[in-house]
A = this chain, B = another copy of it.
Amino acid sequence: MKIGILGYGNLGKGVESAIRQNPDMELAAVFTRRNPNSIKINTDSARVLSVDEIESWKDKIDVLILCGGSATDLPEQTPKYARMFNVIDSFDTHANIPLHFENVDKSAKEGGKVAIISVGWDPGLFSLNRMYANAILPEGNDYTFWGRGVSQGHSDAIRRINGVKDAKQYTVPVEKALQSVKNGENPVLSTREKHTRECYVVLEDGADAKQVEHEIVTMPNYFSDYDTTVHFITEEDLKKNHSGIPHGGFVLRSGVTGFDKEEKHIIEYSLKLDSNPGFTSSVLLAYARAAFRLYNEGQKGCKTVFDIAPCYLSPKSAVELRKTML
């Protein structure tokens, strides 16, 4: 399978690395909106090209992985390129998924291609686990906790404050709440009771720490509904101890069975990830394999993780899977 990457940020780089772990895949080309000469990739055998040339690669790439952002890139890119390529994206603006699906479905069908959208871990693997658990335990409660991990959006929000040079924000699940769910207590949890927010902030010279802290903890939507702690640290400390992009979280369903609903069950799925883009890109590649297979079976249109039979993700044959993994 020949893979193309559009966008060479953290996610694109992750896809490039992950391809090396999948012997049935090969990186054909990286497409960029920047000057291709300014980009040095890690794969000698692959080309770096301007996105303007992408159409001429229509028949040289089996699956194109779209590594842009959900805010402005993917709503435009995924429908556009689903006409020419089998595509995978990680569109993660939950509320806009139905509209995005429609747009992508239309153009993928027109192009006779397969597109799989909203692939990753949330949306993605977490969604799958919510869905499986709900189908199996129709009566129960769902809980999703995120973290401990870096929220890019919240880090950016802090960086926009006057006097802030740099910042990193961690979303942290509240241990007590998580334990209560795991114990089957079915707690009703407010936003504040589920997660705390930890901020590591580097100030500009002469900035007013008290004022910055006040602006952070009272910021609506981002922080005001949470217990937020702000740590002021040096630039060196930030670089040394907070340069990673770890993330993860928990999806739990607490449900009941039995004639009198007397049996309690807890289904839990959790991820502990050193690198959010490193992991997400590995999920994208597994679904790229599925997209290519579905395309070869003559399918077309937009799909999500809900529509893909698990066996399509694995390089192993059905016989081998039954023998070794069932």
Contact = CB atoms under 8 A, between A and B. Distances in A.
A169 to B, nearest CB: 20
A214 interface: no
A293 to B, nearest CB: 12
Interface stretch (A146-154, A198-206, A272-280): A272-280
A312 to B, nearest CB: 9
A305 interface: yes
A326 B127 contact: yes
Given A131-B325, A281-B257, A307 B311 contact: yes
Of the four ranges (under 10, 10 to 19, 20 to 34, 35 or more), the interface on chain A belongs to: 35 or more
A128 B308 CA distance: 13
A273 B254 CA distance: 10
Nearest to A17: B259
A279 B118 CA distance: 30
A258 interface: yes
A291 to B, nearest CB: 13
Given A309-B308, A322-B97, A265 B279 contact: yes
A318 interface: yes
A305 B325 CA distance: 11
A22 interface: yes
Contacts of A16: 259
A160 interface: no
Interface in A255-289: 257-259, 262-275, 278-279, 281-283, 286, 289
B306 A321 contact: yes
A21 interface: yes
Nearest to A321: B306
B311 A131 contact: yes
Nearest to A21: B138
A265 B274 CA distance: 6
Given A307-B311, A309-B308, A321-B131, A271 B263 contact: no
21 contacts: A16-B259, A18-B257, A21-B257, A42-B259, A101-B322, A128-B132, A130-B325, A131-B311, A131-B314, A132-B313, A135-B314, A135-B315, A182-B272, A257-B282, A265-B272, A266-B271, A306-B309, A306-B310, A306-B311, A306-B318, A306-B322
